[in-house]
């Protein structure tokens, strides 16, 4: 018997965004969407094969609620997730296809109360590898054992269909590894993750000559503790020789899976959340990304404050305010987001 679930999430509201530099200011007042949770719909299924073994699959599509179009960041039909695999309570799960990396699964929610959500309040603003998706990936995750869970994935090409390698030529694909550990014991959670990708050595349109054959690495560590009246989060990470997720304002900054030989960025986050009444929660976080290797790069800081109010298990109202300076390491580039909205899951 296969059970198939049709699921999704919708998020929309009203907000104000401002980007300000030394010599310009740009503002946008209007509809916001996908802030609390990115808009998505998907299909998920599991079939019992006997002996505790299950065939599992998931496909997930992202879209923008303001236009109805596929998501600006994931224009593919099932750009958020597309895997098939096997799962066992004893042996863990094995998936092949496109999905998020281990850091998105284990690290993001531990490091910050905003996790990988809430737009510019996301921990991925400062932690390059905290929210990345890889194509062509084989991923294995253990079952939980004494509170521990371990996962490792290998991607034969991180972005797009895998290319043929010519005999005598270089490697045309971006090979990526993602791995990590998460630990949960009552109020304590901790996560340690590592990601790396290597840019092609073969001639490649996406990478200039000096960006080829570079191994980009990121490791990240985080812990959270729930004191019940408040929950504390903290995280630290390093990214070397490039950047995993996009970090751009306008045309400046770093593209997805970019290589910059010698770049050293240290990332920090501290966060706090506290329940307010029976249905409310206040969230706050401070993130820092310090580009230590670059003389003229400024340290990026973001300060975010959020509030969620649960109308039900599946529907939230939310408010968010976030301010970032030296965005994408650029002197005096500031970004502000203020918004209220509603998020509904089905």
Measured in whole angstroms, the distance separating CA 340 from the mean position of its chain's CA atoms is 22
**160 is an interface residue for its own copies by CB under 8 A:** yes
Judged by CB under 8 A, the residue of 16, 43, 232, 236 near its own copies is 43
Segment 95 to 154, residues that bind its own copies, using CB under 8 A:
96-98, 135-138
Q: Which residues within the stretch 6-25 sit at the binding site for its own copies (CB under 8 A)?
A: 6, 8, 10-14, 17, 19, 24-25
What residues from 278 to 317 belong to the interface with its own copies (CB under 8 A)? 311-312, 314-315
The only residue of 35, 38, 61, 204 in contact with its own copies, by rule CB under 8 A? 61
Cα end-to-end span (Å), the chain: 23
Residue 217 touching its own copies (CB under 8 A): no
Angle CA 57–63–64, to nearest 5: 160
Q: Which is nearer to its own copies, 282 or 342 (CB)?
A: 342
Nearer to its own copies, 134 or 268 (CB): 134
Task: Please report how close the Cβ of residue 161 comes to its own copies at its closest, in angstroms.
Answer: 6
Only one of the segments 76-84, 198-206, 219-227, 298-306 lies at the binding site for its own copies (rule: CB under 8 A); that segment is: 76-84
Place of tokens 């019940």: 228
The stretch near its own copies (CB under 8 A) out of 37-45, 117-125, 212-220, 261-269 is 37-45
Show the tokens assigned to 340. 């209220």
Based on the shown chain and the rule CB under 8 A, indicate whether residue 79 belongs to the binding site for its own copies: yes
CA 122, CA 285: separation in Å to the nearest integer?
9
65 strand-pairing partners: none
Binding to its own copies (CB under 8 A): which residues in 240-279?
none
| Residue whose token pair is 């965005």 | 327
Residue 126 and residue 267 in contact, taking contact as beta carbons nearer than 8 Å: yes
DSSP string, 233-289: EEEEEEEEEEESS-EEETTEEE-TTEEEEEEEEEEEEEEEEEEETTTEEEEEEEEEE
Q: Would you say 100 or 196 has its CB closer to its own copies?
A: 100
Inter-residue contact 111 to 234 (CB < 8 Å): yes
User: Rule CB under 8 A: is residue 26 a binding residue for its own copies?
Assistant: yes
Give me the least distance between CB of 225 and its own copies, in Å please: 33
Q: Which of 86, 234, 305, 338 binds its own copies (CB under 8 A)?
A: 86
166: number of Cβ within 10 Å: 9
């Amino acid at each position: 018997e296969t059970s198939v679930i049709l699921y999704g999430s919708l998020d929309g509201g009203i907000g104000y965004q401002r980007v300000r530099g030394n010599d310009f200011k740009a503002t946008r007042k209007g509809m916001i969407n996908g802030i609390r949770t990115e808009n998505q719909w998907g299909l998920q299924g599991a079939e019992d094969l006997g002996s505790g073994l299950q065939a599992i699959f998931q496909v997930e599509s992202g879209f923008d609620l303001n236009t109805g179009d596929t998501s600006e960041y994931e224009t593919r039909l099932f750009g958020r997730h597309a895997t098939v695999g096997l799962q066992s309570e004893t042996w863990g799960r094995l998936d092949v296809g496109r999905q998020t990396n281990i850091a998105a699964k284990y690290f993001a929610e531990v490091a910050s109360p905003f996790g990988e959500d809430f737009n510019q309040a996301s921990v991925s603003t400062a932690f390059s590898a905290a929210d990345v998706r890889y194509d062509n990936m084989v991923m294995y995750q253990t079952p939980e054992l004494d509170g521990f869970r371990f996962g490792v994935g290998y991607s034969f090409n991180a972005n797009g269909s895998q290319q043929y390698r010519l005999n005598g030529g270089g490697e045309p694909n971006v090979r990526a590894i993602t791995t990590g550990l998460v630990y949960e014991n009552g109020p304590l959670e901790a996560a340690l993750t590592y990601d790396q990708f290597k840019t092609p050595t073969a001639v490649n349109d996406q990478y200039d000559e000096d960006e080829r054959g570079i191994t980009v690495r990121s490791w990240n560590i985080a812990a959270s503790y729930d004191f019940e009246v408040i929950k504390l989060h903290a995280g630290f990470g390093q990214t070397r020789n490039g950047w995993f997720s996009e970090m751009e304002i306008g045309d400046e900054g770093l593209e997805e899976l970019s290589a910059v030989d010698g770049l050293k960025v240290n990332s920090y986050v501290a966060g706090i959340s506290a329940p307010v009444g029976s249905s409310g929660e206040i969230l706050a976080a401070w993130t820092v990304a310090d580009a230590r290797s670059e003389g003229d790069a400024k340290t990026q800081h973001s300060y975010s404050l959020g509030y969620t109010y649960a109308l039900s298990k599946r529907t939230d109202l939310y408010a968010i305010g976030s301010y970032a300076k030296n965005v994408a390491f650029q002197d005096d580039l500031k970004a502000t987001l203020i918004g209220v909205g509603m998020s509904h899951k089905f």
